[in-house]
Amino acid sequence: MILLNTLPLFVEAQWTYQHVPTSPTSLGSIAFVDTAYGWIATNHGIFHSTDGGQSWTFQDSISAFKLFFFGYNQCWAISSPNVRHTFDGGTTWNNVSLAPFTDSIWIIHDASFVDSTHGWLVVEKWSRSTMLLRTIDGGLTWAAESSPQGGSHAFNLCSFVDSVHGWMTGRPITRLYRTTNGGITWDSVGDRIGYYQMLGLQFVSARVGWLATDGPVISSAMLKTTDGGETWQNLLYLQCTSYDPSFYFLDTAIGWVANFTCANNATNLHRTTDGGTTWINYTFDSVFIPRAIYFADKQHGWITGLDSTLLHATSGGVVTSVDEGGLAMPSGFVLRQNYPNPFNPTTQFNYALPEDSHVMLKVFNVLGQEVATVVDEFQSVSYKAVNFDGSRLPSGLYFYRLQAGKFLDTKKMLLVR
């Protein structure tokens, strides 16, 4: 399948570096309630910003892996095996009692809070079985709810969208489980998901959700469901990902995925504004391992890295050249390296046309034989993206050539099955 897109897919994004005091060696979860007011979790504690991340103030020493904020005052900081809570925007933090389960908790794997009163913790007990704790009164009391498969210790991911609808899965598990009563009972939903491990889970409604999975040959994929987990569609293939991807979806249409690609030692960002049908790809100038990504709205976002990287965007993360006249036009012919590369079986070609031209984009094997004509038509000035499906081709090295007017450029790519 070939999909032609006329969006500017490789205009330089406006990402700026920000700095957290004390130079923590690892940054994690980050959350903003608007474009100015937010918090970040680091290995040196929690820091707070009131100016969009330009400056940060230390608040608490807990090393949290997840933050949940509701308004400007209430926040849950999830560590392992501790939970802390603030009612005053982080001025004071208090330990949350998980009694009567405190002594049996070994690790808190994941958490999900939908408002200031309803929350869930996926904990692993010293006996190596999973226990799901639920609060409906803001953490004052906790109840142990049933877990899928009798509490198998493999469950370590959960996502709830309201007080009753939630999902659980885990790394060695190839099935998804769903509750419609807040975790009291669970049912297996849909068929077995044909991937190795589950790496991340986020539902944005009772029907729409995203699942990051591990695949063969150190690859990953982003799967989407629109029926509550009954069926899944692979909408983004991430080749050669030696670290888990980070992702965040603002709603059912807009989302971002960040990953480190070991094939070319690069950090990539992918954004969709149509629910994953098409993706805008961007490669950062610097190389880092993404840890968390968060957007307060469709323009203002932050991304953290394991090596203390903190970047801030004000243009959605991928496009900056926008004015009242529309998108800025390219100033020269450009053919970009396909992404992903290596690929299996789909990849994307990006190129720029500074003038109206007859465009020919073809694929050749190592013998110089033409194996596919991707584009052969007259096109107007714009940035272009073409999705190429190589499922009918054998594994191997290929070349793709763009000819537009007097411009001619060729690049190589690798199909790996």
Q: State the chain's mean pLDDT as an integer.
A: 86
Residue extents of the structural domains in the chain: 3-323, 329-415
For 18-28, how does the pLDDT look when each residue is reduced to its tens digit (9 = 90+)?
A: 888 776 678 88
Q: What is the mean pLDDT of residues 126-139?
A: 90
Residue 347 is predicted with a pLDDT of: 87
Q: What is the mean pLDDT of residues 396-411?
A: 94
Q: Which CATH class is domain 3-323?
A: mainly beta
Exposed e or buried b for every residue in 399-415, given b needs 16+ CB within 10 A? ebbbbbeebeeeeebbb
Q: What is the mean pLDDT of residues 145-170?
A: 85
Residue 240 is predicted with a pLDDT of: 66
Q: What is the mean pLDDT of residues 260-276?
A: 85
Q: What is the mean pLDDT of residues 252-275?
A: 88
CATH number of 329-415, picked from 3.20.20.70, 3.40.50.10420, 2.60.40.1930, 3.40.50.300: 2.60.40.1930
Three-state secondary structure call for residue 102? helix
Confidence of residue 287 (pLDDT cuts 50, 70, 90): confident
Say if residue 104 is exposed, middle or buried (CB neighbours under 10 Å; 0-12, 13-18, 19+). middle
Sheet of 197-203, strands arranged across:
197-203, 209-215, 219-225, 233-238
d(CA 293, CA 312) in angstroms, rounded, equals: 10
Residue 370 is predicted with a pLDDT of: 96
Q: What is the mean pLDDT of residues 48-73?
A: 93
Residue 218 is predicted with a pLDDT of: 56
| Torsional sign, CA 20, 21, 26, 28 | negative
Residue 282 is predicted with a pLDDT of: 82
Three-state secondary structure call for residue 17? strand
Residue 373 is predicted with a pLDDT of: 96
Q: What is the mean pLDDT of residues 156-183?
A: 90
